[in-house]
């Protein structure tokens, strides 16, 4: 039986009659010779361009997600069959642009009244999805037809309890919802909420949640759970929205800002990830209306694989898999494995811990490679799931910094991988490469952080002992109920500041400080992710510091416990504020002290029996502080004043003093007790103005010539008697001693007129006591040898040399060029050799040897 209608131009609209098989009916007509063409009579709707919703131009997110591009097709589908629950502040039940798309819900805050919105947030969310389209009112929802289930789980303030959130999700699952929109969230994991989320997954209900607007790498729960589609937001031109939470759990992003319904039959702009999440929920509803047989994980996968990759190639933690594309999700088929090709390490695709993804092994040589960027050392728990029986054993290979390890992956059971911070790679493949077989699987995981090195310190009596000094330690809360105790035993009183700082907003730290046998103090002044700090004056004894947190569950993150200890030292020299109280300084002994007030004065005194060079040094002054030391005579008259260096915390004075008693008066610019200054006095007796000739065999000669202004020492009151003397120094001393005054031109190429000894060499040349080397050089800075010294003095003495007599030294040959001079000077007692009979002519002459020789010649 056939029913016919005639359209324009003789077109026939035919339908199979009641009880007629549609497929057989279509085959019969397709083969009929009288039929030119046959096409299905599709449903049509008003196009977007013809939509009469007055504010549609303000809804830019409809164009950015390409929702309008599929309206003509989607508007004819039965999207109202997919119930979308909004667990929020309720919905404005009488809003003219919403009430046509609402189904009964529940009020969990006040169960006896309908779930009316007394905040506005839930109404904003509902309008994005289900504002009635083409009704000449307000805005257009993404779905032409919708079934929104309002579940009020939040107070008028927009806040609520975790149990109400979980109860709302369970109510939605138990009352026919296929999709639950959660534009709310928590920073911390919760075992109860985790159980509810798994309940939804077990019942094939899709949860879509906002990542949060905390401006950080902390996707909120429930969005952070593996089976929840986590949605972030992007700004205009798909720019990163800094306020949108991001991280390894992020799946998709959608426009951050929307124009939507508001309570009281109004409309307004709203922004946040709360407005991005319902856009994804609407797209999911379209998919499920088109493919009602799909599982929740397949819908998630289709939305991921059809997203517009707007960030780094592939998945990235700021934009996930990309921007929601409604047109692609509607038109493109579900790929069984969106990660192919990934058969090698080089082709490995990103996988993030805490996500459930869908893929496929095709048997044979197929290998699925993934890489995971792990934020900390710890354990990655991975599990395979599938709705199909596994055809062969599956091998999971882990490639990490510790090496390569293989495991048998049994579906439904976790494999535990020890992972290090950074990139880890995993590969999945069948153990036996038999006939090719398609095996769809889901890969899920969770991460547990490493156990810190201070464990086991969960109780006060197990407290980890820390040295009593400023320091910081890093720890973790790796298990349920973990709390970390530390102890520090102070021997000195001081100021202590303890600060507990988390590196994640998922940790709300609590700090406890307690002195042994006394009541403790607990500090919890700040919000999630913020530090807690306590300052106090510590006295000698043991103190305990507990690093804890508000909730008992394990946390993926680290904390830093910083202890700043500024001991208050007592000054062992007090009282020494007056000269008559001065502490007596012994030489080469270290003294310590502090300044307990800015007006504090420390006096020290010392006595020297003979003229000496006095060195006074002070160290360990706190950086940035300054101490001024004034050296005073016995009559308290100032001799010299010296401030310390603020940058190094040091002070040094060196001054020659006559015998007598002296005082050192020290004053600070600011008090300090957190560390001890250290001071030391050293004296060296001055003989002839030098500190290094006392008792030396040449002492008398050095003193004699120093007094005669013939010789000089160095700027630090040293003579350095055993140092070698240069040719220029020797000539200069000789010229001074013999008072040569006439000069002659100097032609040595290595002795320019600018040389300090030029004048002396000029006079010595004129006197005929020096000459250069055969190559024309004078070598003024070369060391004077013993034989050169003998030659120099022989010329000054006008000695001609002695040809007769025995060779005076065993190391001088008969043909040695200076033999006559050495014979005469030895015979006349001007020089001697060594005890072994040698003269060692080429050995350098010391300053002491030259001085003694010069004195003998001058006193001849």
Contact by Cβ (8 Å): 592, 492: no
Q: Which two tokens stand for residue 715?
A: 């700027």
- In what helix (H) or strand (E) does residue 232 lie, and over which residues does it extend? strand 228-234
- In what helix (H) or strand (E) does residue 201 lie, and over which residues does it extend? helix 191-202
Secondary structure (DSSP) of 304-365: HHTSB--SSSS-BTTTBT-B--HHHHHHSPPPS-TT-S--SGGGPEE--TT--EEEEE-STT
User: Which candidate in 51, 53, 75, 121 is catalytic?
Assistant: 121
User: Which candidate in 75, 274, 762, 794 is catalytic?
Assistant: 274
The Cα–Cα gap between 619 and 622 comes to: 9
The Cα–Cα gap between 253 and 231 comes to: 5
Burial of 616 (0-12, 13-18, 19+ CB in 10 A): buried
For 4, the 3-state DSSP assignment is: strand
Contact by Cβ (8 Å): 606, 613: no
User: Which candidate in 53, 69, 88, 482 is catalytic?
Assistant: 88
The Cα–Cα gap between 351 and 609 comes to: 83
Q: What is the 3-state secondary structure (H, E, C) of 440-499?
A: EEEEEEEEEECCCCCCCCCCHHHCEEECCCCEEEEEECCCCCCCEEEEEEECCCEEEEEE
Nearest to 651 by CA among 671, 681, 683, 613: 681
Nearest to 545 by CA among 505, 494, 496, 503: 496
Secondary structure (DSSP) of 506-557: T--EEEEEEETTS--EEE--S-TT--EEEEEEE-SEEEEEEEEESS-S--SS
Residue 311 CA, distance from chain mean position: 24
Residue 312 vs residues 99, 233, 350: alpha-carbon distances, Å? 41, 16, 11
Query: Does the annotation mark 88 as catalytic?
Result: yes
Q: Is the peptide bond before 344 cis (omega within 30 degrees of 0)?
A: no
Query: Does the annotation mark 577 as catalytic?
Result: no
Q: Look up residue 733 and give its DSSP letter.
A: H
Cα Rg of the chain (Å, integer): 48
Query: Does the annotation mark 392 as catalytic?
Result: no
Task: Provide the annotated active-site residues.
Answer: 88, 121, 274
């Amino acid at each position: 039986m056939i029913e016919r209608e005639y359209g324009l131009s003789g077109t026939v609209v035919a339908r199979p009659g009641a009880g007629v098989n549609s497929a057989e009916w279509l085959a019969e007509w397709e083969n009929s010779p009288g039929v030119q063409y046959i096409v299905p009579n599709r449903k049509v709707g008003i196009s977007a361009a013809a939509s009469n919703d007055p504010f549609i131009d303000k809804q830019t997110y409809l164009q950015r997600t390409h929702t309008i591009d599929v309206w003509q097709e989607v508007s004819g589908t039965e999207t109202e069959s997919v119930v979308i629950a909004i667990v929020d502040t309720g919905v404005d039940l009488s809003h003219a642009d919403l009430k046509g798309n609402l189904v009964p819900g529940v009020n969990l805050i006040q169960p006896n009244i309908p779930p009316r919105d007394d905040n506005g947030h839930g109404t904003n969310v509902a309008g994005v999805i289900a504002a009635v389209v083409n009704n000449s009112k307000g805005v257009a929802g993404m779905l032409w037809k919708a079934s929104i289930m309002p579940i009020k789980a939040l107070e008028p303030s927009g806040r609520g309890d975790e149990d109400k959130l979980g109860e709302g999700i369970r109510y939605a699952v138990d009352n026919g919802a296929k999709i639950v929109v959660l534009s709310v969230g928590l920073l911390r994991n919760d075992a109860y909420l985790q159980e509810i989320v798994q309940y939804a997954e077990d019942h094939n209900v899709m949860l879509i949640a906002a990542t949060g607007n905390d401006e950080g790498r902390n996707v909120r729960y429930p969005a952070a759970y593996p089976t929840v589609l986590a949605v972030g937001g992007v700004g205009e031109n798909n720019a990163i929205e800094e306020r949108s939470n991001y991280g390894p759990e992020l799946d998709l992003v959608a426009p951050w800002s929307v124009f939507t319904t508001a309570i009281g039959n109004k409309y307004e702009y709203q922004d946040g990830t709360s407005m991005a999440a319902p856009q994804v929920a609407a797209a999911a509803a379209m998919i499920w209306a088109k493919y009602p047989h799909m599982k929740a994980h397949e819908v998630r996968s289709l939305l991921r694989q059809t997203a517009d990759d707007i960030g780094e190639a592939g998945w990235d933690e700021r934009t996930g898999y990309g921007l929601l594309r409604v047109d692609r999700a509607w038109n493109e088929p579900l790929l069984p494995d969106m990660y192919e090709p990934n058969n090698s390490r080089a082709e490995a695709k990103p996988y993030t811990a805490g996500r459930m993804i869908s893929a496929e092994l095709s048997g044979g040589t197929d290998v699925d490679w993934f890489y995971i960027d792990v934020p900390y050392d710890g354990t990655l728990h991975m599990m395979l799931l599938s709705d199909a029986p596994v055809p062969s054993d599956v091998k999971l290979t882990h490639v990490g910094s510790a090496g390569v390890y293989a495991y048998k992956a049994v579906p439904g059971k976790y494999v535990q991988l020890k992972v290090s911070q950074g990139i880890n790679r995993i590969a999945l493949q069948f153990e036996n490469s038999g006939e090719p077989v398609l095996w769809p699987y889901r890969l899920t995981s969770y991460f547990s952080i490493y156990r810190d090195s201070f464990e086991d310190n969960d109780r006060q009596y197990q407290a980890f002992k820390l040295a009593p000094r400023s320091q910081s330690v890093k720890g973790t809360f790796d298990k349920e109920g973990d709390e970390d105790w530390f102890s520090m035993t102070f021997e000195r009183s001081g100021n202590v500041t303890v600060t507990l700082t988390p590196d994640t907003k998922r940790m709300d730290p609590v700090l406890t400080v307690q002195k042994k046998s006394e009541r403790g103090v607990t500090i919890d002044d700040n919000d999630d992710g913020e530090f807690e700090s306590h300052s106090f004056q510590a006295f000698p004894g043991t103190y305990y510091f507990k690093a804890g947190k508000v909730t008992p569950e394990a946390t993926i993150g680290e904390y830093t416990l910083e202890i700043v200890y500024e001991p208050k030292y007592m000054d062992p020299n007090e009282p020494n504020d007056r000269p008559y109280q001065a502490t007596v300084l012994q030489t080469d002994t270290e003294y310590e002290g502090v300044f307990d007030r800015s007006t504090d004065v420390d006096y020290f005194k010392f006595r020297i029996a003979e003229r000496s060079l006095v060195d006074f040094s002070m160290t360990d002054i706190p950086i940035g502080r300054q101490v001024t030391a004034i050296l005073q005579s016995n009559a308290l008259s100032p001799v010299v004043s010296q401030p310390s260096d603020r940058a190094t915390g040091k002070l040094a004075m060196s001054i020659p003093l006559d015998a007598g008693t002296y005082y050192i008066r020290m004053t600070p610019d600011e008090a300090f007790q957190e560390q001890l200054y250290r001071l030391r006095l050293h004296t060296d007796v001055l003989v002839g103005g030098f500190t290094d000739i006392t008792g030396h065999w040449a002492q008398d000669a050095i003193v004699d010539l120093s007094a005669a202004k013939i010789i000089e020492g160095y700027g630090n009151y040293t003579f350095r008697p055993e140092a070698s003397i240069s040719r220029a120094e020797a000539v200069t001393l000789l010229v001074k001693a013999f008072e040569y005054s006439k000069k002659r031109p100097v032609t040595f190429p290595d002795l320019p007129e600018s040389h300090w000894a030029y004048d002396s060499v000029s006079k010595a040349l004129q006197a005929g006591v020096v000459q250069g080397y055969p190559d024309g050089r004078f070598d003024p800075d070369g060391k004077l040898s013993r034989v050169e010294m003998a030659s120099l003095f022989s010329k000054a003495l006008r000695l001609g040399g002695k040809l007769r007599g025995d060779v005076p030294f065993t190391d001088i040959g008969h043909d040695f060029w200076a033999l006559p001079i050495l014979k005469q000077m030895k015979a006349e007692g001007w020089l001697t050799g060594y005890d072994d009979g040698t003269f060692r002519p080429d050995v350098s002459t010391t300053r002491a040897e030259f001085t003694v020789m010069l004195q003998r010649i001058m006193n001849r």
